[in-house]
Amino acid sequence: MTSSTDPGSGAARVLALLWREPGARTSTRGPRQGLSVDAVVAAAIELADSAGLEALTMRRVAQALGVAPMSLYTYVPGKAELLDLMLDAVYGRMPYTETAGLPWRERLAAVARDNRALCDRHPWVALVSAARPPLGPGLMAKYERELLAFDGLGLDDVEMDDALAYLLGFVQASARASSAARALRRESAITDEEWWAANEPLLARIFDATRYPTAARVGSAAGEVRGTAFDPDHAYRFGLERVLDGLGVLIEARDR
Amino acid sequence: MTSSTDPGSGAARVLALLWREPGARTSTRGPRQGLSVDAVVAAAIELADSAGLEALTMRRVAQALGVAPMSLYTYVPGKAELLDLMLDAVYGRMPYTETAGLPWRERLAAVARDNRALCDRHPWVALVSAARPPLGPGLMAKYERELLAFDGLGLDDVEMDDALAYLLGFVQASARASSAARALRRESAITDEEWWAANEPLLARIFDATRYPTAARVGSAAGEVRGTAFDPDHAYRFGLERVLDGLGVLIEARDR
DNA sequence: CATCTCGCCGTACGCCGTACGGCAGGCGGT
DNA sequence: ACCGCCTGCCGTACGGCGTACGGCGAGATG
């Protein structure tokens, strides 16, 4: 079976799958496939959306499709490749705002907003690794579209790529933090207030405010304003302004 | 046994453990403990450093200590709490550069450099969740010291906390990307060049450069300059300048 | 109708975190 | 000196995971 164009062990087959290249299927013998790659990917996305990435298991995807777990491996080399396919699929269907003609800061803000909205709809997107992204049609279209927001600003090609990666990295890190905070609130048996109430006496006895005066002052000020230890939404809004300001410095330098 | 100050199920006991509060041990009956929390934490850190976070399992920590897996639960409520203890321990021993008197940009750059060095020595640090950090002595000292880098710049208390979290978030995200890239290179059976060589023909046939002209131009330019698809070190250097520039805009606005 | 092919999937392996309960060793009290 | 309690230690087990392997049976071809 292994021909000279042996697709190899998953890692090599994923590109063909991403572009939905017809497999090396030549003969028509045997039963037809009852499912499709798209059906598997769609079921996996729905499961991850509704139950979270940690609930995305091959067994549960199979259950949602009414097949046995091992049947999935007919369509997909493994779980890692399934995640690649899921990612490219949501990239391809991602809604985006048209920004041609707007000032650069609004264009970049729109890119950030679109990506944040994607992570809002599909929280697992922020949690899958960003190393070696899936080179499928969805990512290509997204990359092309988002690069255009950085066009005509005086940046060279490499800087455009750097700047986009920087912006997307910030959005991903923010979304990850939001997701972690949400997961903590969901799965922790104890609420923030309960935790604080239970631990405040011990902390008050043990924490020496005179040793850490700045920490005590700043920490309590931040805690009071936000009402909680960590507010991911606030961190996002604060951070995005800094990101845009920082890119603005580069853009103005190149403009001159 | 459960007194009115019942330490409860792990999540509540972790604070006492972080500060190494003597447990509710009153009677001296029974055998002495053969290990200590510190020994368990040290073994776990060494294991995570040398074998990676995914290799950090209770069984392997126990093996390194020469005890049975379940014995660890005498010292530590569970794996999550062990991670908290590990994190606070490396925070407490973290080397840092003295920056009093330096200009603000160098102070902030030093904070970033120290944290990146920490993630370099202990790659797992970047991978554990940032939500609800361990409120132990190590984190307190780190928080105090790093806040001082933002002191006297005209920022109010909340802004100081925001700015520090922003800077640390960037460093963490960068370190995570580096770690992911390293893990990919290590565990993938195929190198970057091999992958490209194997997939280039398919990609050339399938990828329509006229549909995505900007992506094709920018992607190939970035790939040629860096020699690889993704260069985490370059992304860090580029990003850090933007982060500092962005914070500079805020600092100058407050300075006026 | 025989035969070939291939989708499907039952079973199993080696991992994980950790709940439960028994055993044995060391200490305090008598 | 001895007994009995307390407690650290840990053997066993459960329910989960990804997926390798190989057999079975259905469907299309000839």
Chain A residues near residue B170 by CB distance under 8 angstroms: 170, 173
- Note the pLDDT of residue A3: 34
Using the Cβ of B187 and the Cβ atoms of chain A, whether some distance falls under 8 Å is answered with: no
pLDDT in tens, A117-167: 999 999 999 999 778 899 999 999 999 999 999 999 999 999 999 999 999
The CATH number that applies at residue B50 is 1.10.10.60
Task: Please check whether residues B63 and B106 belong to one and the same domain.
Answer: no
pLDDT in tens, chain B (256 residues): 333 334 456 777 899 999 998 876 667 777 888 999 999 999 999 999 999 999 999 999 999 999 999 999 999 999 999 999 999 999 999 999 999 999 999 999 999 999 999 999 999 999 997 788 999 999 999 999 999 999 999 999 999 999 999 999 999 999 999 999 998 888 777 888 888 888 888 888 989 999 999 999 999 999 999 888 789 999 999 999 999 999 999 999 998 7
Name every residue whose Cβ is closer than 8 Å to that of residue A59 and which is 6 or more positions away in sequence: A69
A182 touches strand D (CB under 7 A): no
Residue A226 lies in a domain: yes
- Interchain CB distance below 8 Å, B12 and A241: no
- Note the pLDDT of residue B26: 64
Task: Please check whether residues A141 and A241 belong to one and the same domain.
Answer: yes
What residue numbers bound the domain in which B189 lies?
97-255
Task: Please check whether residues B55 and B118 belong to one and the same domain.
Answer: no
Burial class (CB in 10 A: 0-12, 13-18, 19+), B193: exposed
Angstroms from B43 CA to nearest CA on chain A: 26
In the chain, the amino acid numbered A19 is: W
Mean pLDDT of chain A: 92
Task: Please check whether residues A115 and A197 belong to one and the same domain.
Answer: yes
Query: Within 10 A of B143 (CB to CB), how many other CB atoms are there?
Result: 22
Which one of B91, B111, B126 terminates a domain?
B91
Residue B174 lies in a domain: yes
The CATH number that applies at residue A233 is 1.10.357.10
Task: Please check whether residues A112 and A223 belong to one and the same domain.
Answer: yes
Cα separation, B246 vs A244, in Å, equals: 7
Residue A243 lies in a domain: yes
Q: List chain D nucleotides near protein: any atom < 7 Å from a Cβ.
A: 4-12, 16-22, 25-29
HEC per residue, B121-170: HCHHHHHCCCCCCCCCHHHHHHHHHHHHCCCCCCCCHHHHHHHHHHHHHH
A56 touches strand D (CB under 7 A): yes
- Note the pLDDT of residue B6: 41
Asked if pLDDT for residue A233 goes beyond 90, the answer is yes
Task: Please check whether residues B216 and B171 belong to one and the same domain.
Answer: yes
| Å between CA of B30 and C1' of D5 | 9
Residue A203 lies in a domain: yes
- Interchain CB distance below 8 Å, B130 and A177: yes
Task: Please check whether residues A18 and A131 belong to one and the same domain.
Answer: no
Which one of B56, B71, B91 terminates a domain?
B91
Cα separation, B124 vs B12, in Å, equals: 24
Please state the rounded mean pLDDT for residues A51-70. Answer: 98
Residue A133 lies in a domain: yes
pLDDT in tens, A73-129: 999 999 999 999 999 999 999 999 999 999 999 999 999 999 999 999 999 999 997
Find, in chain B, the residue whose alpha carbon is nearest to that of A174. Answer: B169
Task: Please check whether residues A138 and A74 belong to one and the same domain.
Answer: no
Which one of A70, A91, A112 terminates a domain?
A91
Q: How many beta-carbon pairs under 8 angstroms link A with B? A: 198
Cα separation, A157 vs A153, in Å, equals: 11
Task: Please check whether residues A152 and A232 belong to one and the same domain.
Answer: yes
Residue B3 lies in a domain: no
Asked if pLDDT for residue A7 goes beyond 50, the answer is no
- Note the pLDDT of residue B5: 36
| Å between CA of A96 and C1' of D11 | 58
Residue A155 lies in a domain: yes
Cα separation, A222 vs A228, in Å, equals: 8
Q: How many domains, in total, are found in chain A? A: 2
Task: Please check whether residues B147 and B177 belong to one and the same domain.
Answer: yes
- Note the pLDDT of residue A11: 75
Task: Please check whether residues A134 and A223 belong to one and the same domain.
Answer: yes
- Note the pLDDT of residue B4: 33
Using the Cβ of A92 and the Cβ atoms of chain B, whether some distance falls under 8 Å is answered with: no
Task: Please check whether residues A141 and A63 belong to one and the same domain.
Answer: no
Cα separation, A15 vs A84, in Å, equals: 9
